[in-house]
Amino acid sequence: MKRFWVSMVIALSATVFMFYQSGAFAEKPKETKAPVAKEEKKAEAKAEQKPEMKLDMSVAPTIQIDKTSLDNGGTITVTGNAPAGKQVYLEVWAEKKVRASRFDAEVDKETGKRPYILYMTYEMPAHYKIYIPKDKKEDLEKIKKEGKKWAYSKALKDLGADIVYSTPAKAKIDRYQATLMGSIIGSRGDMLAAMDEKENKKRSMQLVKARFRSPGKVLAPTVEVSPDGSYKAQVTIPKGSAPGKYSIVAAVDKNAKSQPVTVENNVNFPNVYLSNAGTSLNLFGPFLLTLGIAIFGVLMGAGGGFIMNPLLVSIWPLPHTIVAGTVMPTVLFSQGSGIYNYSKIKFISWKLGVGIGLAMVLGGFIGPKLTEMITLDQFKFVFGWILIILAALMFWQTTPGYIAKNKKEQAILKEFKKKAEETAKAK
């Protein structure tokens, strides 16, 4: 019987995996379509900018790159010419899009009220970075020292990089007005009207910070500008970035930008791209980690989720929402099989289990809503305290008094189980 279940599980996961694979193939035509649409957009944008572009053609920088394809990240050397004496900025973004969200509960300086608005976009580039001139390095260090409270919009302004910031500003951002009642029934709240271009840009900067978190991830001082106007920069696409096209644009002014150049980043087996998380990783990493933690979890009598989630968000650049939402279903099946085994020998009090279970269903309805309202730092902080409580609980279970009591309990448990099993067999 056990073997039957093992083979069932293996067969099932194989089918699901194949289904996913074929799904991935089916997606390909879509990807080829996307650039076309983008080019149209670009053409539109060009047409709009034409009057200005004419003026600035003479000052727009040129751009060249030394390679056009990368294998799971790498460094590209970007060179070009700009008008002498101008600062050159590079904007680098990935074509692949991910989700970013931010819950605004900070006191508004003007009205003194907390807005409680959830900002969310599905169009944040999976990788976004602005390269600034080398001589701004000290200014960037200062921003890094501000710690977690740094503001991306202020950093852009201080470093003069706001002239090149444009791709995330175009992302469509949805706003939801959260209410206490809405949170209780677990809805995101009412969707508010779309924002104007300026407001959208401002909010997109906050979302960039929410998604990429640290200044070093979105800003790098590597552009070397010579007095004659030629410039050179190292652009690094880190390991674990999304596959697909990366575009680079050089700018000296808001209206003096080069044509974009593109680099293709290839991610090959065993590295896979998790499209929802926006991260590529070696698939053996999480596999071995899960295996190890699952074994340890069973041995210590607690689910692996406690150790799994904090490790996953610490080791890989995965969003905590994805980690929480994906680890939870993995324990569903082991719980289900446990219930099945207990129910076979009638070792479950359905009245008690369902009674408390109904209260837990309500909690499970609200919890996932709250996950997206907190930042990764808050996630880690609260999780730290949860683990301390858990450690205290486990420590208590190793004290002599508990062990003595537990021994008796376990003996009774075994006896009852035996009785139950025999009864089940007799039937």
Partner 1 sequence: MVVEFWGHEFKVNIVLGCIGGFLIAIVSSMFGFGGGPFMVPLMTVGLGLPMYVVVGSSLLAIFFNTLMGTMRHYQFGNFDLLFFLIMFPAAILGGFIAPQIAKRVSPLTVKRVAVAGLVLLALNLLGVY
Q: What residues numbered 243-262 form the site for partner 1, per CB under 8 A? A: none
Residues ≥6 apart with Cβ < 8 Å to 78:
63, 64, 65, 66, 90, 232, 233, 234, 235, 248, 250, 261
Question: CA 142, CA 196: separation in Å to the nearest integer?
Answer: 32
E-strand ranges in 59-216 read: 64-65, 69-71, 74-81, 89-94, 97-104, 117-125, 128-133, 173-177, 190-191
Q: Select from 60-68, 152-160, 170-178, 316-324 the region that touches partner 1 (CB under 8 A).
A: 316-324
- 261 or 289: CB nearest partner 1: 289
Among 29, 112, 363, 401, binds partner 1 (CB under 8 A): 363
Question: CA 231, CA 221: separation in Å to the nearest integer?
Answer: 13
> Which residues from 21-40 bind partner 1, rule CB under 8 A?
none
| 159 is a site residue for partner 1 (CB under 8 A) | no
We find the least distance from the C-beta atom of residue 331 to partner 1, in angstroms, to be 5
> Which residues from 136-155 bind partner 1, rule CB under 8 A?
none
We find the least distance from the C-beta atom of residue 265 to partner 1, in angstroms, to be 18
Residue type, 74: G
Among 42, 52, 194, 355, binds partner 1 (CB under 8 A): 355
| 342 is a site residue for partner 1 (CB under 8 A) | yes
| 177 is a site residue for partner 1 (CB under 8 A) | no
Quick one: tokens of 368? Answer: 């996932």
| 333 is a site residue for partner 1 (CB under 8 A) | yes
- Binding residues for partner 1, total number by CB under 8 A: 117
- 8 or 84: CB nearest partner 1: 8
Q: What is the DSSP string of 220-279?
A: EEEEEE-TTSEEEEEEEE-TTPPPEEEEEEEEEETTEEPPPEEEEEE--TTEEEETTTTE
Among 192, 382, 404, 424, binds partner 1 (CB under 8 A): 382
Question: CA 256, CA 65: separation in Å to the nearest integer?
Answer: 19
Residue type, 243: P
| 330 is a site residue for partner 1 (CB under 8 A) | yes
> Which residues from 75-134 bind partner 1, rule CB under 8 A?
99
Residue type, 403: I
Among 335, 404, 422, 424, binds partner 1 (CB under 8 A): 335
Pairing verdict, β 173-177 and 117-125: antiparallel
Among 394, 404, 422, 424, binds partner 1 (CB under 8 A): 394
Which CA distances in Å does 48 have to 40, 42, 43, 45, 56? 12, 10, 9, 5, 14
Among 364, 404, 422, 424, binds partner 1 (CB under 8 A): 364
> Which residues from 183-242 bind partner 1, rule CB under 8 A?
186
